[in-house]
Chains A and B, each alone.
Chain A
């Protein structure tokens, strides 16, 4: 059995292979890797109420576990999970409507746009993981934590006058990493 750290460094194709061989820790790693993604589709793309989103989330991973053998290309895990989540959300909304609950089917175009945004966010996060620790930290501090050049300079010990250029260089690296990752894949 592989250590958890080693599992987290596996790419999707290798992780799917290990899940198929019955490795329970690999399955937990798969769920952990994609739980935020699946939940984001339920909440942001389909606007499910929290309780329904949690039920749908459970169903998605139950279906994924049952159907993983049918995934031909393990590297297409993310789009495959997106499609599975989409179908599961629609099933939940239809079941709610049949049961008389107020359920509104979201506009397909809006769902597509939200899915694209979620995919982009995931790709940016994954690209961030490929950067050096310094670059990750400087980008996180400026763009996510809204820290000023001076605060960043004080914490990281970098001359204040070079912070803007450093951020630009790190963004350029992030862009390259992102473009390297964002080749579109079709679910298999």
Chain B
């Protein structure tokens, strides 16, 4: 039996929303990779390789986002206010990239779900739903960033990614 320690953390310190979205997206990509490998089909190895690349990309973005978030928080606290706008903009860029990578994960998982059979199909569909959730989290973080207005290019793009990911998750659910 696995022993859980209360001081163990999935997200590192400090835990941030961006890092959580990235880790959720990476978990979805890992599940997609396992589902892609579970059955032999023409595009399976390629789908697994793409999922591996997305795991790596999402985890790296989670780290980049955490550092950008920490800098923006420090600037907001007044320690570095002359760079505030620049740091807030940088803090919005990482969740946008996480949103994009999570959306790709949802699209890939939906493709895998369409080629999988039970019970693997259920895992691929679950991966698509999780990835869509990660994309929605990241899109939310972009929209609430103080440097991003409602009609800002980044906010519109994030909403579009979120919609694409949500449609992919719905497609994955129907695939069974």
Contact = CB atoms under 8 A, between A and B. Distances in A.
**A and B are interacting partners:** yes
Interface of A: 142-143, 146, 148-150, 160-161, 164-165, 167-172, 175
Interface string B34-54: 000000001111110110010
A148 B46 contact: no
Interface of B: 42-47, 49-50, 53, 57, 100-101, 103-104, 107-108, 111, 161, 164
Nearest to B49: A171
B104 A149 contact: yes
- Dominant secondary structure at the A interface: helix
Given A142-B50, A146-B57, A149-B107, A168 B100 contact: no
Contacts of A175: 45
Nearest to B46: A168
Contacts of B101: 148
A40 B83 CA distance: 40
22 contacts: A142-B50, A143-B53, A148-B100, A148-B103, A149-B103, A164-B47, A164-B107, A164-B108, A164-B111, A165-B43, A168-B42, A168-B43, A168-B44, A168-B49, A168-B50, A169-B43, A170-B46, A171-B49, A172-B42, A172-B45, A172-B46, A175-B45
A168 B47 contact: yes
